[in-house]
Amino acid sequence: MKNFAKNMAIQGPVKIGKKTKLLTARLKPGDIALIDHHDLDELAAKELCEHKVRAVINASCSISGLYPNQGPLVLWKANIPHFDLAGKDLMAKLHDDEVLTIVEGKIWRGGEYLGSARLLDQEEIQKQMEAAEQNLGNLLDAFVQNTLDYARKEKELILGGLKMPSLDTVFTDKHTLVVVRGQSYREDLKAIKQYIDEVKPVLVGVDGGADALLEYGYIPDLVVGDMDSVSDMALRKAKELVVHAYPNGSAPGMARINQLGLTAKVMKAPGTSEDIALLLAYENGAKLIAAIGTHSNMIDFLEKGRKGMASTFLVRLKVGNRLVDARGVSQLYRSQISGRSVLLLALAAAIPVLVLAFTNSMVRHLFRLIALRLRLAL
């Protein structure tokens, strides 16, 4: 690490979670996060950084060299000690808030030795990233072939064979904003806040995207997803819910909806929940669809554990004439106000005050008294 000695002891309470995106909701500054996340992605790493964890232990391999996942690099740049290959047995041995000590990759609970892990320093990360870059060409070939193979199977379902649930949400001739928990989704949502306030689009949250809307003070009109990464609060506050079911009709997300005592529609479809959200808006007559945080490239889909993006490719072909992809919009322009600009602005604001002062006899008399006192004092 940049400022971390390998033989330095790290100590803190542990928080355990097999799914990083669910664990982050329980983390507190100073915790040691124990995760099971093969090829740690950039978004998960950023959320760990935001929660100011003391260290990260991964039961799995954080960077395998399969593709250039950015998670380990994000943690290294944040100066957060990061250990991987700790083994899945470690998670079974521990409970939340037990205090761990890590020294030279060895993990202790009090005086009890629990196992060892690999410290991911800059050298190791760089080595794996170089291997991933060399493998990228072969990976791209396989990714494209998988996408084409799945597209042949899914084209009828995506382009004409899907049965749409009847919704209460009205999309006809309205703008729709679809928010997905993807890269830079918070920054992009903040960047278009004025658009949301003025246009008042239909707000669709895809799983955790619903929580992003709540974070900025907006109630989702519709939440679409398999319901594995959205909070109970977002589900309760949303005006309507659609559970994404597998093509065979299985809908694991309905178990959670029933447990919460809520009601939801079900939509059977291949692909991802964000594909379904775009299709629902399109088929229900949305005038324009703005999308934030959506997954649209090979790295995105490898981070999601998908071998291809057939359904997304087909859906975007279908809805493209109405789709505005707002991902990364926060990077388009960042205002930098110079000191000179601030000075000119202050002078411009002062002009009306000065004009008022010198045209008012009482104010002029007050200035004369102040000037007289200054002369007497000097």
Question: Residue 173: which CATH number?
Answer: 3.40.50
Residue 302 maps to a domain: yes
Task: Specify whether 176 is located in the same domain as 294.
Answer: yes
Task: Specify whether 67 is located in the same domain as 29.
Answer: yes
CB-CB contact of 187 with 206 (8 Å)? no
E strand intervals along the chain:
10-17, 32-35, 55-58, 82-84, 99-103, 106-109, 112-116, 118-119, 175-180, 202-206, 222-225, 241-245, 265-268, 288-292, 323-325
Question: Residue 96: which CATH number?
Answer: 3.50.30.10
Residue 235 maps to a domain: yes
54-82-140 Cα angle (round to 5): 135
Closest CA to 84 of 55, 119, 54: 119
* Helices first, then strands: H and E counts in the chain: 15, 15
Residues 6 or more apart in contact with residue 172 via CB below 8 angstroms: 284, 285, 286
Task: Specify whether 90 is located in the same domain as 172.
Answer: no
Task: Specify whether 93 is located in the same domain as 172.
Answer: no
- Please give the mean pLDDT across all residues of the chain: 84
What is the C-alpha separation between 225 and 169, in angstroms, rounded? 16
Task: Specify whether 48 is located in the same domain as 83.
Answer: yes
Residue 5 maps to a domain: no
Task: Specify whether 32 is located in the same domain as 116.
Answer: yes
Structural domain that includes position 361: 337-366
Q: What is the mean pLDDT of residues 323-334?
A: 71
Q: What integer pLDDT is reported at residue 1 of this predicted model?
A: 47
* Whether the predicted pLDDT of 4 surpasses 60: no
Task: Specify whether 177 is located in the same domain as 197.
Answer: yes
175, two tokens: 């703008």
Check residue 331 and report its DSSP letter. Answer: G
Residue 275 maps to a domain: yes
The Cα-based distances of 144 to 158, 166, 293 in angstroms read: 18, 35, 22
pTM strictly above 0.75? no
Domain boundary among 70, 98, 120: 120
* Whether the predicted pLDDT of 7 surpasses 70: no
Residue 53 maps to a domain: yes
Closest CA to 62 of 88, 36, 80, 81: 36
Closest CA to 21 of 298, 254, 225, 193: 225
Residue 258 maps to a domain: yes
Q: In the structure, what pLDDT confidence band is assigned to residue 375 with cuts at 50, 70 and 90?
A: low
Task: Specify whether 187 is located in the same domain as 272.
Answer: yes
Task: Specify whether 291 is located in the same domain as 342.
Answer: no
Task: Specify whether 312 is located in the same domain as 360.
Answer: no
CB-CB contact of 294 with 274 (8 Å)? yes
Check residue 172 and report its DSSP letter. Answer: B
Beta-strand pair 106-109/99-103: antiparallel
Q: What is the mean pLDDT of residues 272-296?
A: 91
* Whether the predicted pLDDT of 48 surpasses 90: yes
Residue 345 maps to a domain: yes
Render pLDDT for 170-179 as a digit per residue (tens, 0 to 9): 999 999 999 9
Residue 250 φ/ψ region, left for φ over 0, alpha for ψ in the -120 to 50 degree band, beta for the rest: beta
CB-CB contact of 310 with 147 (8 Å)? yes
Question: 140 vs 308, which has greater pLDDT?
Answer: 140
Q: What is the mean pLDDT of residues 17-35?
A: 90
CB-CB contact of 162 with 322 (8 Å)? no
Q: What is the mean pLDDT of residues 27-54?
A: 94
Residue 154 maps to a domain: no
Task: Specify whether 198 is located in the same domain as 327.
Answer: yes
Helix or strand or coil: residue 128?
Answer: helix
* Whether the predicted pLDDT of 141 surpasses 90: no
Question: 169 vs 187, which has greater pLDDT?
Answer: 169
* Whether the predicted pLDDT of 49 surpasses 90: yes
* Whether the predicted pLDDT of 2 surpasses 70: no
What is the C-alpha separation between 259 and 232, in angstroms, rounded? 10
Task: Specify whether 289 is located in the same domain as 314.
Answer: yes
The Cα-based distances of 70 to 43, 92, 218 in angstroms read: 9, 28, 30
Looking at the structure of the chain, the number of domains it has is 3
94-97-101 Cα angle (round to 5): 70
Render pLDDT for 62-88 as a digit per residue (tens, 0 to 9): 998 888 889 999 999 999 999 999 999
